[in-house]
Amino acid sequence: MSQIVLHEVGLRDGLQMEKQVVPTAQKIAWGERLLASGVDILQLGSFVRPDRVPQMADTAELFQHFTQPGRKPASATLSGLVLNEKGLERGLECGVEMFCMGVSASETHSRKNTGMSIADATGRIIAMAQAAAAAGKRVQVSVQSAFGCGYEGPVPRERVLGIVRSFLDAGLRNLSLADTAGHGTPDAVEALYEAVFALAPGIDCACHFHDTYGLALANCYAARRAGVTHFEASVAGLGGCPFTAVAGGNTCTEDLVHALQRGGERREIDLAVLLDVAREVAACCGREMPGNVYRAGPIPEPAAAAGGS
């Protein structure tokens, strides 16, 4: 299997649910350490209206900091979420390297999140994605609420695949399926990704799971079995969509890394750094976070596996 690519989204999807606005200096400090841990992609924020999501008001400032020479590893990519043309324009101005944008497969969630129908949002997102690609940027398009909706319940698979076909027909081949409501189960995850890969073998697929009902890590393994290589996760398990019925945290980064390393993958990622950041996040937010490994501690490696005699 291809090496897993880790996309850390805690500074965006994680913090957007917090009532307390985290100071920019603290975000920068966490961002620097997350990059130092060895994550592949770091999502710094989203270009949304500050009155709706005040935690994201400093997104441009964060990009201006991290795009300065020497502020990040050359191998790391800085991503940002955009919902509309104004957000794309702002992102292009401040140096976003990878644009993330998506369409909900739930009419109710789509209207609550963007104020648009699925059809209108799909056309708009495709045009934006093509504009970003024409500007030389990496682009990832997603289908949100792909495994169910907190308002509508089950989402028809054909509706999800219809949005995926629209993306593929537009030449967009970096796709993500997001379990916004946390309704996904391993069997459903594996089956849906297999159907997506059947449409276009060889495409890059990412997964974005919420742990609302405790299945995020299991769903990651199901996606892996289906051939997914890009995984989005949030340090300390922070997160949740503010425009869904029941918000739950994201796949926890350090729990995912711990599990991968137990299986011999991504051992170069510094788990200790991730755990330190998770503890700092918990202290800053004044509560226990959903993550498990930062509380229990990692399982010690056998001496041989750790490089001993």
- How far apart CA 9 and CA 81 sit, in angstroms, is 10
- How far apart CA 239 and CA 233 sit, in angstroms, is 9
Q: Provide CB contacts within 8 A for 156, sequence distance 6+.
A: none
- How far apart CA 115 and CA 2 sit, in angstroms, is 38
Residue with tokens 């202290």: 283
C-alpha pair distances (Å), 282 with each of 160, 276, 279, 300: 35, 10, 5, 23
| Residue from 145, 135, 141 nearest 122 by CA | 141
Catalytic residue among 94, 149, 241, 252: 241
241 tagged catalytic: yes
**Are the C-beta atoms of 206 and 176 separated by less than 8 Å?**
yes
154 burial (CB, 10 Å; 0-12 / 13-18 / 19+) is exposed
Computed over its alpha carbons, how large is the radius of gyration of the chain? Answer: 18
DSSP tag of 151:
T
C-alpha pair distances (Å), 262 with each of 4, 42, 158, 267: 14, 23, 36, 9
Q: Which residues are known to be catalytic?
A: 241
